[in-house]
Structure formats: structure tokens, C-alpha cells
Amino acid sequence: MVPHLTTALTGPLLGLEQKILDSMPEIEHWFRTQWQEHTPPFYCSVDLRNAGFKLAPVDTNLFPGGFNNLNAAFLPLCVQAVMIAIEKICPDARNLLLIPENHTRNTFYLQNVVQLSTILRQTGLNVRIGSLNPEIREPTRIDLPGGQQLLLEPLVRSNGRLTIEGFDPCAILLNNDLSSGIPEILGNLHEQFLLPPLQAGWAVRRKSNHFAAYDEVAANFSKLVGIDPWLINPAFAICGEVNFQERQGEECLASNVDFLLREITTKYLEYGIEETPFVIVKADAGTYGMGIMTVKDASEVRGLNRKQRNRMAVVKEGLEVTQVIIQEGVPTFESINEAIAEPVVYMIDHFVVGGFYRVHTGRGRDESLNAPGMHFVPLAFEDCCTLPDLTCRAGTAPNRFYAYGVIARLALLAAALELERTLPAE
């Protein structure tokens, strides 16, 4: 059973959804031609914010960690999509090595690893799980709630290849975002496919590259469908030389915050939106919502106190923040019984395979829902996002899910462009 979503069903969003529905054949044709030219990452999840007047991606994750949150009914869809991805990338593969994050005590995350390996195995691949965690020195069995088990094995470098004792994989799938840097053991692999490529890891990746590519994708798409690109695109700016501890870059931050807030105010006036503009300040590299601030006035980023500075200075795995992205805040208007809900769309290859809502009671609708200490309840989509009902009006469930899937695929396409452009020179 899926609770009813009390989304604001008035204003420009219905118009946007209707435009998307009306243009479905053009949109799908356009995506087909885009995927002829660009290679999607192996998998991807996209956090969307639905503001009623605006539907936009706010975060694109190339190491999705919530496969266990998807509706089990769409497992066959995941399996079929992985089959396609493997056929395209490494049809001759028999053995696949999955490398998860290092945290061995996060049960939710480990259930994701179980689910992901189940999907991969259903395509007929032999799958084993190799850990970068130095504490895993021998095969380690982890028991999970519900009787599931996970076997983590130590990685062994052998003849220029990454292996596990007795297991030489053709393909290596990272579910580890490399926040702590690129481990030496992953470098210069001999005839092994690494998915996604190293530049997808946070040791190299920058959100600003992603959203610059998204600007382009959103502009092209908006022209196709005949909408203002702002309706699907959060504005952003970057500050390149920030050191929160040393109070460097404060002025750059403040002036960019101010610029963006003015831009948003103009748009709110244009569309008659009676909301208070805000921006999100976050690290340009890194994930897990550490180092994130909601800002409604430039003065708030001047003279941060020690606690605030400490919080902003580092993200996951101690990665230091030196570059900051300031992104237009998109308030969420979706809620389930008073609780804020943020859709997360999952894709494998270029196919939407499901998603879920992050349902969170303790947060405001102008805050990030992916933050440390945040306890969300995942609510699987009842719908697979690919079956719009053109005989119904915009705003009905299959049509809203289709719109989610379209916007998420735009972010996926931006990720494809981003990875192309950040490919290191040989």
C-alpha cells in the first residue's frame, strides 16, 4: 500500500507535467538519439525536488546505495536492464567483482549490497564481493536481519589484475564512491572493465561539472518541449578557493549567494510564487550531505561560528572542502501525512527501473533530506515511471512518475556528458 501524496496540484507544475505528457513521443525519440551518441553510466540514482512550480534534480549519485528500497515488483526490470548494460560493455564477462563501501556495520547499506548482487547474479554473472576495507583480511561473513548473508572477501592484486582468491573477474562494479581517494589497487588494471570509470568517484568528481552539463541538457530539452528551462533546472554558482577553517573565500561565497537569491527572487516574481528564496551551500566534491547549509541571506555565510565552520570544512572520509557549490534551493511540496517526501529515481544503463520516496518527519521543506543523522523512511514507488496514462490528466500517479523518470533521465544524460568530459587524457 502506498500512502497518498499531498502534492500541491496547482500552478505551473501541472502545466509542466502536461507539456511532458503531450511531448512524450518527441521526448522518447530525443532520448533515443541522445543515447546513440552518449554512453550512460552503468547505474545512477537522482534525487529530485518537486516544488509544485518546479521539478528538478538536486543530486546525481553514480554509486546508488538504495537498491533494497525499490519495489520488489520491478526486480525483473532491473535484471533486464543489467543484461543490456553487460551486453554493451562486456558481453564476454562471466565473473563480476562488486566493490562496496567500507562501512561494515550499516545494515541498510549492506542490504543494498545484497540486493544489488542478487540483481547481478540473476543475469547469470558469477558475482563476488571484494572489500577495500583494510580490516577485511580474510573472507568475512556478515549476517543481516531477515536471514540474509553477505560474504566480503579481501582484494588481491595479481598480474596487473584485481582479483579475489580463486576468482578473476572480467568486470569490476564500484558501489564505493571513492571519497577517500583512488586506492592504488584500482590503478592501471590489465584488461578489466571498471564500472563506472574512476572519474566518477568523489576523489575526482565535481558537482559543478555535473550541473554545468545539466544546464546544457536542460536547455536542449526545454527547447524541445517548449518550456522555460528554469522550471527543471536549479541555478548554481561555484566558489573555487574556500577554506572554512581559515575563513578564506567568504566574500566570494556571500556575493554568489546574493546573486543567486536575486535571480531566484526575479523568477518567483515572474511566476507569482510566494515563497522565500533560499540557496543550498555544499561541497563541490563529496556526498552524504555533510557540509551542507540552507541560506536565505548572504549575511548568513559571513562570520560563521566555529561549530558551523567545522561542520562545513569536511565531508565524508575526512575529504577537505576547498571548492563550494551554491545551488538554488528547491522547496519540496510533496508530503505524506505531514512528512516531507523527496523522490529518488533509480536507473540502470539508460532505463528507469524504479525509485522510492525519502520520507522524513523532522525536516523542513527547504532543507536537504540527505544529511548526516537523517533518518528517512524509504517508500518504494508503486509505479515504474515508464507507463504514463495519456488518457488521464497530469498529476495522476502514473503521469507524475513518468515526469519524475523524464527529469531523472535528463540528469543521467548530464552524468554521461560529465563523464565523457572528465575522462583523463591517456
- Residues in touch with its own copies (CB under 8 A): 24-25, 27-29, 31-33, 35-36, 73-77, 79-81, 83-84, 86-87, 91-94, 121-126, 351, 384, 386-388, 390
How far, in Å, CA of 421 to CA of 423, rounded? 6
Closest CB to its own copies among residues 123, 179: 123
**Beta carbon of residue 346, minimum distance to its own copies (angstroms, whole number):** 13
End-to-end CA distance of the chain: 51
Q: Please, what is the minimum distance in Å from the beta carbon of residue 381 to its own copies? A: 11
Q: How far is the CB of 111 from its own copies (least distance, A)?
A: 17
Residue (83 or 156) nearer to its own copies, CB: 83
Residue placing its CB nearer to its own copies in the complex, 36 or 188: 36
Minimum Å gap between C-beta 229 and its own copies is 21
> What is the distance between the alpha carbons of residues 407 and 364, in angstroms, rounded to a whole number?
23
Is 12 or 405 the residue whose CB approaches its own copies more closely? Answer: 405
Provide the β-strand partners of residue 161.
Answer: 158
Which CB, 273 or 380, lies closer to its own copies? 380
- 282/256 Cα distance (integer angstroms): 13
Shortest distance, position 246 Cβ to its own copies, whole Å: 51
Residue 34 CB, nearest approach to its own copies (Å): 10
- For its own copies, which is the closer residue by CB, 122 or 294? 122
131-138 CB contacts, 8 Å cutoff, 24+ apart: 131/99, 131/100, 131/102, 131/104, 131/155, 132/99, 132/102, 132/176, 132/183, 132/185, 133/102, 133/104, 135/104, 136/104
Peptide bond into 196 cis (omega under 30): yes
